Structure 1
Amino acid sequence: MKNKVLIIAVHPDDETLGCGGTLLKHKENADEIHWLICTTIDKNHSYYETREKEIEEVSRLYDFDSVHNLRLKTMQVDEYSMSELIASISKVINEVQPNIVYLPFKGDVHSDHRKIFEASYSCTKSFRYPFIKKICMIETLSETEFAPSTKEDAFIPNTFIDISEFFEKKIEIMKVFESEIAEHPFPRSKRNLRALATLRGATAGCEYAESFVLLKEVL
């Protein structure tokens, strides 16, 4: 059965950092993939037009079946009420009707990520969204690894996807977001992306992998 996949990316590039190889694998398997971008930079920002072009290019490279952008103010998501966030996200989820949803990790250090997780997870109740059958939280470099090192907040993956065949394309797509990557030891360096995928691959028994926290799966 063909899947309908929705990645909820708080910021453009989260989809690539957290599950870029997985999205490419879904597409290779003839699944539909849909991209919900939650935030945007101000139109008066000098990088605004460049970022819009980056999003367009990344959408083309993944061949997303649909792209949605809530255009919330980046780094200011906590200014919106929870009911506003839930209504906006719910509208997209009901339009796409995905059976697989990838969410930001609930313990990410960035407040935007935590707010969007909370709102998104509220939109997965089985009696309101019966089409959702699998929910995973993604691992986003520069956010997830800086979560507090407590058992309540630490990212402890329990699901791994072999992305060996798709890893190099993931790197090429990430390079489109020029302002978001830098040299090691910057967390979002190409070297660190490869290191994390290698570590997760070693756990999964393959060359490169992405890891997730599985919250729910209905079989």
Structure 2
Amino acid sequence: MKTILVIAPHPDDDIIGCGGSMARHIQQGNHVAILYMTSGEDGSMQYSPEELGLIREAEAKSAAAKLGVTDLTFLRCPDGYLEFNKENLDRMVTIIRAIKPSNIYLPNSKDDVPDHQITYRLGLEGCRRAAGPWHQGCGQEPWSVKNILGYEIWTPLQTVGHSEDISEFITAKIEALQLHKSQTRHINYHEAIQGLNRYRGVMTGKGKYCECFQLIRAQICE
């Protein structure tokens, strides 16, 4: 059994970017954990940030459970103001060393949203630091992540390094995404990502629906 860590800037980014791959890992008997950097509390004009943070965490739990994932961590960094700093790096290193994932999924390096860009930087630098003989306060045992994949959210990749056939899981993925009701009632994310996954399936020839990734690090990509 492998351990998979998905690092998401906001609740719903995980489902958009790699929901089908998460479902596949669960089917294969792997353990999937999700780390949410923020709770997306600034993502609506309808609710106060305090209300929306609670709503979106509840939606994240329901959506993840739809795919069979129950191991969720919310860091509750400020939505829209995520920072690349010592505190967040130390937290990232501590989590990576504690979870010991073989694979990490995080936003691709070219995603055009500031919180997504910072999440990428924190995840990548967190992996580098977690593997070295440093930062004693972040766990006693270094851990090296074998595979790091960058998923698509707002900005589709120009160069695809790895593709996953998610045809078997597309229905569950879209149903999970629709459970993020506070977000999909305003923007049809589920329609957009289903279209992108269909396009990726056609263009890669790997399946009817595919998720595509930036290959950031690979020993054995699976």
TM-score when scaled to structure 2?
0.84
Unmatched runs of 5 consecutive residues or more in structure 2: 43-47, 133-141
Partner of 1:148: none
User: Which of the residues 155, 158, 161 maps onto 1:144?
Assistant: 155
Question: Identity over aligned residues, as a percent?
Answer: 25
Q: Distance in 2 between matches of 1:101 and 1:90?
A: 13
Q: Distance in 2 between matches of 1:53 and 1:193?
A: 22
CA contact (8 A) 2:100 2:143 kept: no
Residue-by-residue CA offset, 1:34-88 (whole Å, 9 max, x unaligned) = 000110227853423322321221232233252111110100113xx52122111
What's the secondary structure of 2:164's corresponding residue? strand
User: Which of the residues 170, 173, 178 maps onto 1:170?
Assistant: 173
TM-aligned CA deviation for residue 182 of structure 1: 4.8
Partner of 1:203: 203
Residue-by-residue CA offset, 1:95-135 (whole Å, 9 max, x unaligned) = 11000000111221111111111111012228425441101
Unmatched runs of 5 consecutive residues or more in structure 1: 146-153
Does structure 1 residue 133 correspond to structure 2 residue 146? Answer: yes
Q: Report the more deviating stretch, 84-93 or 18-27.
A: 84-93
Written as runs of structure 1 = structure 2, the 5 A alignment for 1:7-156 is: 7-40=6-39, 41=41, 44-78=49-83, 81-125=84-128, 127-128=131-132, 129-140=142-153, 143-145=154-156, 155-156=158-159
Residue-by-residue CA offset, 1:151-188 (whole Å, 9 max, x unaligned) = xxx642121000000001100000000122257xx5x4
Q: CA RMSD in A?
A: 2.0
Q: Report the more deviating stretch, 40-49 or 9-18.
A: 40-49
Q: Distance in 1 between matches of 2:28 and 2:125?
A: 29
TM-aligned CA deviation for residue 189 of structure 1: 3.2
CA contact (8 A) 2:64 2:176 kept: no
What's the secondary structure of 2:167's corresponding residue? coil
